[in-house]
Amino acid sequence: MLLTAHAEPWIYVATGQAFDDEMRVRIAEHRARRSAGWHTVEAPVELAAAIGAQPHRPVLIDCLTLWLTNLMLGGHDVAAASAALEHALAARHAPTVLVGNEVGLGIVPDTPLGRAFRDEAGRLNQRMAALAGRVVFMVAGLPMIVK
């Protein structure tokens, strides 16, 4: 993996929230797959602060799409939170991996919230890709190097 080649502890920043039993099971399965070298930090909204607290440790953020969902449904300022994230990423001194979903490849959502989410996710992915030294698009478990 990209981060486990570096010294542990590795920081897993989780943005998902367990609002129902199915998500609780998903989170538990996800945790069980991680080795003891991983330290989990839960940051459903305060992502910039979470990674800012670990500037010298390898970090995996999983995932930007859930984080964006939390921001939008919570009525947070997406532009300000994204700018804070960019600032926190620029201040890091260790490898950082961002996971996000590409939601703009399907049909146009039929609700205003769905369309707003798709547009915001696209903008967020573009901003993060512009900062990244490497961008990998995963399709059917296969990596496609974009940048």
CATH number at residue 21: 3.40.50.300
pLDDT band for position 131 (50/70/90)? very high
Classify residue 91: in a domain, yes or no: yes
Classify residue 3: in a domain, yes or no: no
Q: Which residue range forms the structural domain that includes residue 107?
A: 10-145
Classify residue 135: in a domain, yes or no: yes
Length of the chain: 147
Classify residue 5: in a domain, yes or no: no
pLDDT in tens, 28-77: 999 999 999 999 999 999 999 999 998 999 999 999 999 999 999 999 99
Neighbours of 82 (CB within 10 A): 21
Residue 49: closest CA among 9, 19, 13: 13
Tally the domains of the chain: 1
Is the pLDDT reported for residue 2 higher than 90? no
* pLDDT score, position 14: 96
Cα distance from N-terminal residue to C-terminal residue, the chain:
18
Strand duo 136-139 + 10-14: pairing:
unpaired
How confident is the prediction for the chain on average, in pLDDT?
95
Classify residue 1: in a domain, yes or no: no
Q: Which residues are catalytic?
A: 30
pLDDT in tens, 69-92: 999 999 999 999 999 999 999 999
